Amino acid sequence: MMKEKVLIAMSGGVDSSVAALLMKKQGYKIVAAFMKNWSDTIDPITGECSWKEERRMAMKIAAKLNIPFKTLDFEKEYKRDVIEDMFKKYKKGITPNPDVDCNKKIKFPLLIKAAKKLGCSHVVTGHYARIKQNKKSNKYELLRGKDESKDQSYFLYGLSQNDLKHTLFPIGELTKKEVREIAKKNKFPNHDKKGTVGICFIGKVNLKEFLQKKIKPKKGKILNPDGKQIGEHDGIYYYTIGQKIGPKFGIDIKKENKTKPKKWYVAIKDLKKNIIVAAPEGHKINFKKDLIVNEFYLIDKEKKDFIGKKTKVFSRIRHVGELIPSELRQGRNCKRWKITLNKPITGVSEGQAIVLYQKDKCIGGGVISF
C-alpha cells in the first residue's frame, strides 16, 4: 500500500540522497526539491555558480531513484532574513549563528509551505537528528542523532511544534559511516562526497573578506589584560571571542616574552570604545561560567514550568561541542534566563547559540549574552 506523499529536500549531498532512498523503500511517494538560496558563491576551478553543480548532483540522484524533481528559489528570503540580519549583528560586535536562523526562518517554514502546495504531508531532510511524539502531551520532541559526531540538533533547536509535526529525519538513527555504505551499495555518485562546511548554503568562506563586503574597516587598539596597547585591529566586527591571534589570522600583536611564546586569543570586544582586549592562553578573562540567555525558546515545554526553579541541564555552545553540565534558572524577570556552567570555558561569544539538553533530548536554547 502506497504511503502518503512527501517532499524531500535534496542538496546534492550523500545524506539527503540516502534519506530519499530510505523513504522510497518505505513506500512513500516522493517529490524531490532543491533549494536555490545563494547564487553568489563561484567555483574557483569552473568559474560556475556552485549551486548549479550541487543541483546537477541532486538531479542525478532523483533520476536514479525515478522521482520528480523541482527547484525552489528562496534566495530573496534567505538574503533578507538570514544574511542581512547576520551583517547587522556582526556590525553590533556580536557573533550570530546563521545556520540556526536559516533552519528557523527559511528552510523548514518555506519547505513546509511548498510541501502543502504540492499535496505533501511532510518535509524530509538528511539531518542527523530524531523526532519523537510524546504520547502523554502529544507534543513533538527533538532528540540528538545517533551519531554524536554528526548530531545536528544544535542547529534545529528553534523549530516550532508545527515544523516538527510536518518533518521526518530518516537518517537520524544511522551513523555517517552507515549512510555512506548505503550510498556506495546503491552506486550513488556522491557516496564519498565531502560534507558541506561553513555558512549554510554559502559554504566555506573567508569570513573577514565576506563581512568586508558590507562592513567598512574601522581601526582601533588591541590591549593586553593590563590595559597596555600591544597592537592595532582593523575592525572588531571581523573577529570573534576565542579567536587565535597571529599573522595568519589577520590580527597580530607585540608579545613581550618571546622566549616562551604563548598562544593569544581575542578575549573581550568593546564596541563603544572600539577596543579588543587580548589575553594569553590560560588567562582568567578568556573563561566564562555565568551566561545570560536571550530569546529563550523551549521546544515542547512551557517557560512557566521552569520559573522559580533551578533546572539541571547540559549546555552546548557550538555544533557537536562538549555537553557541559549546567544549571538553568530564571533571572529577575521572565525575559532574563541564566545558565551557570559547572566549569568556566573559553571561546564563549555574545550572540552565539546556546542549546540545552536533558539526556538525549534537546529542550531548547537561546542566544548568549553577558
Catalytic residue numbers, as ranges? 102, 200
DSSP assigned state of 194: P
Task: Report DSSP state, residue 294.
Answer: E
Lay out the sheet containing 122-124: strands in order across: 69-73, 29-36, 5-9, 122-124, 167-168
Which residues are paired to 204 by β-bridges?
A: none
Q: Of 123, 154, 117, whose CA–CA distance to 299 is shortest?
A: 154
Cβ contact 54:11 at 8 Å:
yes
Q: Which helix (H) or strand (E) holds 122?
A: strand 122-124
Q: What are phi and psi of 103, to 5 degrees?
A: -65, -45
Residue 171 CA to residue 194 CA, distance in Å, equals: 17
- Alpha-carbon distance of 13 to 188, in angstroms, equals 10
- What is the largest distance, in Å, between two alpha-carbon atoms of the chain? 74
CA–CA dist 65, 346 (Å, integer): 46
300 residue type, one letter: D
Q: What is the identity of the amino acid at 298? A: L
Q: What count of Cα atoms within 13 Å lies in the side-chain half-sphere of residue 160?
A: 11
